[in-house]
Structure 1
């Protein structure tokens, strides 16, 4: 395969004599992730709600909606995806939603069908699963509403697993390894030899060499960070923001943006398999420092990973989503008025969230390049996907009818999310 001599180096170039760092036991990472998820499930539980207690009539309809025990239209976390309901009330105002839902339930039959807009073109009626609110699995969900978020990310992972299988079948004749290598070399040539080279003044190889010559301890830190931050860090962020977001509507925008970014990346993984720099032939001058340090994650080997999915970098895509959310959460920059009952942050916390929001994606960018796992263009494409996904995140509203039918099929009611609940507490009581 002919290559431009400008982007190749001597085969002896990548050299690193450091000793492998201490390796985290393989069982530790799954335990860390599981601890984060189940810890979040417990922290965001609906307090005062008993799974096995089906007593009725002791609370007003409004109080019942706060606890998720009332009938009527279930799934507020789905309804608030819509900016306006057919009745005209603002779904972002949770109190108004609860009051209007109670009135609607009282003025119609016991379990009226839901009316959903499908792509803004037609309205469809879907079954109301609130009649299943006393089923044990519905009550478990009401007690632990974060289980719904865990289910969403299991679906994400299932789609990710499909990318490798689908891409291999799509490029079976030409050989996916050869195709991915050609794409990786094409990315390097585009960065260094095309008109776009002005956008990439620094080469990935130079970044890695800088760390390998005189800064190997720092590179060891980056190796560990690449292996251990991505999955636990992203899961931890989702868990944290579900708890601290001022409302579920705000949290849902972030979750939908990250999910749509995922699907944009998954489609690219399938249609444009791309070899990361670390797997390119030696003459391109890269070293797989993570494996050299024996620092790889259990999620980075075997059936858990698509190793030919460098374009785009989801390490950076997730980091950018998280960073932008932290900057927004800091309230340093002018934005819409604070959400109802959202407390004002002190200057210290504003600067803390701002600094963390800027530092985290910058740190991950250096990490993915220095460890030769991604090209700069991978991060640039990921950033474009994040912007596109944020602008179009409401596309997931089209799946609401499907969600209604799924809940009906499993005979469950979707729980009222507990996000923002702590901001609705005054004087030790809920309002």
Structure 2
């Protein structure tokens, strides 16, 4: 029995559009920096001063019975035993009792560092913690390209990624899941190329500009408007775990995007043709062979589901500090929650940066990450140690305190 091959198209794809004006390289970093520093200002602790009188009267992050931070409610000083209560009451900086897996760990108490200058800065601008962890997240992405190249050094990562890209096309066309993909990616791109090139130019710009600034903007916005930090943390942990699931796929299953496949497959790199590349998507550490899954869509789907939840349209009662939304705002957030991922899906396919299968796998990763987002609790002791090493006290988040 012969193995089916994906349908090939003769000739090189054509698009008669002239390249649009090139966006200066400094614009995107300025956009992202403006969003981040704007969020720092909006989410600052307004009744707190970095320089001033002693902060001994200020309740530190670890002085509360429950923690609001990324280690949500894992901290508890109190114990059922009388001896533990005596220990807590007579010790100025008691050790923290961390519930970790099936045991309890004693971790250093960083509240003693609350008056250090960098602790005061963090307390004034607690969003800095989110910026720090997303920087680590971005660093891990940067390493996927190097790691994958080392793993597939003998066979050649370019050849492996191209074979995987062709496998995806074949799976969409011939596998048992083909009913999920009634439309071919090439046909969608050709429809925009011929007769809708202005819309294609808009999508090229959207692909370059929306992914990083849009995701960063969402994180900043939701940190500000979420009714509680716990609610925000669920969305943030889901996105972070989705990232790490995707990073594993990038390393172990390098996949060439349609735009880099041989010309006979009929795809055109419209973003480069329009000279609309993002400054974040270029350079030595960018992984060009990371089509599977699509993190453009993964982020968009997670954002969309969060917006629908935030609308309250499927919830009978709002959260404790959440006000009821009018019908207009419920519809607005719901439509935006559906429209945004739909727009991103169209963008990634039309620009030949991803396959439909990439979006499907990204959706699965988001659902899996939402179900298992609390796995990040295992890193709480590591966070304690990091704060102790740098002599800083973790700030109390301002989410839900507007």
TM above 0.5 = yes
Shift of 1:78: 3.7
**Aligned position for 1:29:** 28
- Distance, in Å, in 2 between the alignment partners of 1:205 and 1:70 is 56
The alignment covers a number of residue pairs equal to: 397
Aligned to 1:429: none
Is the contact made by 1:105 and 1:111 (CA closer than 8 Å) also made in structure 2? no
Q: Quote the offset at 1:341 in angstroms.
A: 2.2
TM-score normalised by structure 1 residue count: 0.88
Partner residue in 1 for 2:15: 16
Q: Which residue of 2 aligns with 1:112?
A: 94
Q: Secondary structure at the match of 2:92?
A: coil
1:331 aligns with 2:312: yes
The equivalent of 2:233 in structure 1 is 252
Task: Provide the residue aligned with 1:170 in structure 2.
Answer: 151
The secondary structure found in structure 1 opposite 2:98 is: strand
| Aligned-residue CA RMSD (Å) | 2.2
Q: Equivalent residue of 1:117, what SS?
A: strand
Scaled by the length of structure 2, the TM-score of the pair is 0.94
Is the CA contact (8 Å cut-off) linking 2:61 and 2:394 kept in structure 1?
no
Deviations along 1:218-275, whole A, 9 cap, x unmatched? 1111100000000000000000000000000000000000000000000000000000
Q: 1:297 deviation in Å? A: 0.6
Match runs of 1:152-163 below 5 Å = 152-163=133-144
Structure 2: gaps spanning 5 or more residues: none
**Structure 2 CA distance for aligned equivalents of residues 304 and 19 of structure 1:** 30
Aligned: 1:38 with 2:20: no
Change in 2 beyond 3 A, CA 1:170/1:158: same
Partner residue of 1:195 out of 151, 154, 176:
176
Q: Does the 8 Å contact 1:115/1:125 carry over to 2?
A: yes
CA offset digits 1:337-367 (Å, max 9, x no partner): 3222211111111111011001000000000
CA distance in 2, matches of 1:400, 1:5: 49
The 3 A distance-change label for structure 1 pair 88 and 70 is closer
Could you say which residue in structure 2 is the equivalent of 1:148?
129
**Equivalent residue, structure 2, for 1:181:** 162
**Shift in CA distance, 195/70, structure 1 to aligned 2, threshold 3 Å:** closer
1:72–1:130: 8 Å Cα contact kept in structure 2? no
Q: Which residue of structure 1 aligns with residue 50 of structure 2? A: 51
| Counterpart residue number, 1:271 | 252
Match of 1:77 among 36, 61, 69: 69
The superposition leaves residues 30-68 of structure 1 with CA deviations (integer Å, 9 ceiling, x where unpaired) of: 0100110011001100002111123357x6xxxx43xx5
Q: 1:81 to 1:73 in 2, by over 3 A?
A: closer
Indicate how the Cα distance of structure 1 residues 113 and 225 shifts in structure 2: closer, same or farther if over 3 A, else same. same
Q: Is the 8 A contact 2:5 2:170 kept in 1?
A: no
Q: Deviations over 1:96-134 (max 9, x none)?
A: xxxxxxx99983421111111222x11111001000000
